[in-house]
Structure 1
């Protein structure tokens, strides 16, 4: 009888967790929708727009303090490249960071990647990969640093709350002569030799408002800091109209090229042709899950169910139960490489999950390499 009560309590706890997760997902969907829309309910607009004004004032004050030298920007004993964006989420910072690091390494540079380690438990500077072995998992370092550590050979990956200290360790322990900051466009505390700004050619700058009314972390004119702009899925090959007229940096387009499907809980691989005509359960925890579904559909998949979680979601055994149940009617359950890093730590619960590996393809590699060469000398 006692065992029955314990099982009932566990079941009730799992049901409560599921309800909380549904409400959290629904709230996130509503807010994300509002942040993209021009018109929303008047009370919500008044609240969010008022908060945006306060946020904008804080951003402007911070920038002015750095420009006037009140806040100091520190330097590292190496070249520094940042990869970042003006909006929150969904522009491909991590894949482009890996791509840029790989290009610099081919140019003969000793490259290291620096990340904040968002979502990880590490509170001090730590080495995720020394370039040959992965030393930390996603629970400690976060999902994106672990993905970069697993994908990149010969490139150390470090995490830490202070990029200066993390960079100093990269120089000291790995003799890095170039460090790449993942999501570093707003990190004014560290001097950069090149800022690479990513923008989404489909979404642009959202509704043009600052957080939390819109998607913008900074006003659009902050783009003039960039030394290179990379546009994800550009429309028509033209310079996006939402970029400021004063921007003088070269602009190149890029897109993702799906490469293969890899078993999350095994070593098997499938060609992406396996998606053609297949019923697919799309599983991801991304800021822009619709872009993942769009990629699957462009490969010929019929997306029969969508298992979306908040960005950087920490998957649980209860999630695996739901994923297994939701994917039983599908031919394949497909997730992203970022999600696979965390899902691989859990019991698959009889669900065969595949991760879609993608490569970054740049439309004008000559311009990109010419720009990168300025920091590779």
Structure 2
């Protein structure tokens, strides 16, 4: 039942994305676009009203007395946020901060429905403690319970606390009281205005699709109007190719004071999904490879494989955050073999959702990446220095 609901949800999501980016034509698609446009106008009013209510203090934010860094984006998905969160957490930890990453755990396993219903009916605050993905010593949850990104961050950052809860004021308080944290990183937190205090707002902009199709949800992929970029203290241009003059000019018009950092997702090595064996980047050079992914922008990932010298003979794409079944992996192996692929490559974010399989006709590796700063390194160090009060 759960699998069929997930499959139906993903098919609707794929259809809507095709409609939003006008890859579907015809009467039905046009009608859906008209409906989405009307809804986006309502959404715009809701966003501006909510912001106004926070500004005039009708809706109250909370201060926990520690440093808060919100890392997020104006658009939905695909900016490469997780490696940036990891870079900040690692740098702050190296500077002596006690860091906790607070995530809402997108598509993680929610609390029991009965408990959530009772809390809503009785207007009670959820007293359930946040889920502890990592206590800074051990990995305590799997990817299904934690969510893809929190699990991946906890796997890569062994000495950083990672908590999951929709209420990040609650999880922030928990991080301070239980783990003595003095720095809270809000993963996907630019729109989370409930937690303020000493706060830095870091916004990521994808060079390839800076503001999506320039329309708000649900007609487009913008969560807020581009003018709201003015709140950012630092802006990362991700997936940069160095040709960003026009984008920088647009950013400067929206926010003339923010530091701008350009970066790329730099591949480090390949790691076998099942055995953990690591290989250098020369692994795929001049070899036939297949790609397998369930991410927001698979084209960027596939291009990175060809850039490393791989000959991409087959690619299988799923909806973002898709949880793979054993049969789907086996089908991908069979089709890759038919195209004479020598190995299958996936992303680390996808690898955490892989099921165990008995048949391994082809080796399956994920590519481990990190953020590499191309320009604005001084702005990054200044940003870290401000956080650390140095």
Structure 1 residue matching 2:305: 3-state secondary structure: helix
| Match of residue 375 from structure 1 | 387
Structure 2 residue matching 1:312: 3-state secondary structure: coil
Conserved? CA contact 1:220–1:243, under 8 Å: no
| Match of residue 305 from structure 2 | 296
Cα pair distance change 1:244/1:217, threshold 3 Å:
farther
Conserved? CA contact 1:259–1:359, under 8 Å: yes
| Match of residue 223 from structure 1 | 229
- Alignment equivalent of 2:20, drawn from 35, 42, 46: 35
Task: State the shift of 1:240 in Å.
Answer: 2.8
Q: Answer yes or no: is 1:92 the counterpart of 2:104.
A: no
Q: Answer yes or no: is 1:164 the counterpart of 2:169.
A: yes
Q: Answer yes or no: is 1:211 the counterpart of 2:217.
A: yes
Cα deviation code 1:299-354 (max 9, x no counterpart): 111211111111111122222222222232311100000111111x4225324210
Task: State the shift of 1:122 in Å.
Answer: 4.4
Cα pair distance change 1:223/1:290, threshold 3 Å:
same
Structure 2 residue matching 1:98: 3-state secondary structure: helix
Task: State the shift of 1:54 in Å.
Answer: 1.2
- Alignment equivalent of 2:263, drawn from 247, 254, 269: 254
Task: State the shift of 1:237 in Å.
Answer: 4.5
Cα pair distance change 1:204/1:369, threshold 3 Å:
same
Q: Answer yes or no: is 1:195 the counterpart of 2:201.
A: yes
| Match of residue 273 from structure 2 | 264
Conserved? CA contact 2:79–2:238, under 8 Å: yes
Using the alignment, how far apart are the partners of 1:205 and 1:353 within structure 2? 34
Cα deviation code 1:138-175 (max 9, x no counterpart): 11111111111110121111111110111111111111
Cα deviation code 1:97-127 (max 9, x no counterpart): 0111111112111111111111221434111
Task: State the shift of 1:36 in Å.
Answer: 3.6
Conserved? CA contact 2:97–2:388, under 8 Å: yes
Instruction: Tell me the TM-score normalized by structure 1.
Output: 0.89
Using the alignment, how far apart are the partners of 1:241 and 1:45 within structure 2? 31
> For this pair of structures, how many residues does the alignment match?
360
Superposition pairs of residues 135-146 of structure 1, within 5 angstroms = 135-146=140-151
Conserved? CA contact 2:226–2:254, under 8 Å: no
Structure 1 residue matching 2:38: 3-state secondary structure: helix
Cα pair distance change 1:332/1:134, threshold 3 Å:
same
Cα pair distance change 1:321/1:79, threshold 3 Å:
same
Structure 1 residue matching 2:332: 3-state secondary structure: helix
| Match of residue 236 from structure 1 | 243
Superposition pairs of residues 324-343 of structure 1, within 5 angstroms = 324-328=333-337, 329-343=340-354
Q: Answer yes or no: is 1:128 the counterpart of 2:133.
A: yes
Q: Unaligned 5+ residue runs, structure 2?
A: 112-127
Using the alignment, how far apart are the partners of 2:221 and 2:252 within structure 1? 17
Using the alignment, how far apart are the partners of 1:122 and 1:167 within structure 2? 19
Structure 2 residue matching 1:113: 3-state secondary structure: strand
| Match of residue 119 from structure 2 | none
Using the alignment, how far apart are the partners of 2:321 and 2:252 within structure 1? 31
- Alignment equivalent of 2:102, drawn from 114, 120, 139: 114
Q: Unaligned 5+ residue runs, structure 1?
A: 1-12
Structure 1 residue matching 2:386: 3-state secondary structure: coil
Conserved? CA contact 1:129–1:136, under 8 Å: yes
| Match of residue 48 from structure 2 | 60
Using the alignment, how far apart are the partners of 2:306 and 2:34 within structure 1? 38
Instruction: Tell me the TM-score normalized by structure 2.
Output: 0.87
Using the alignment, how far apart are the partners of 1:296 and 1:314 within structure 2? 22
Task: State the shift of 1:38 in Å.
Answer: 10
| Match of residue 356 from structure 2 | 346
| Match of residue 322 from structure 1 | 331
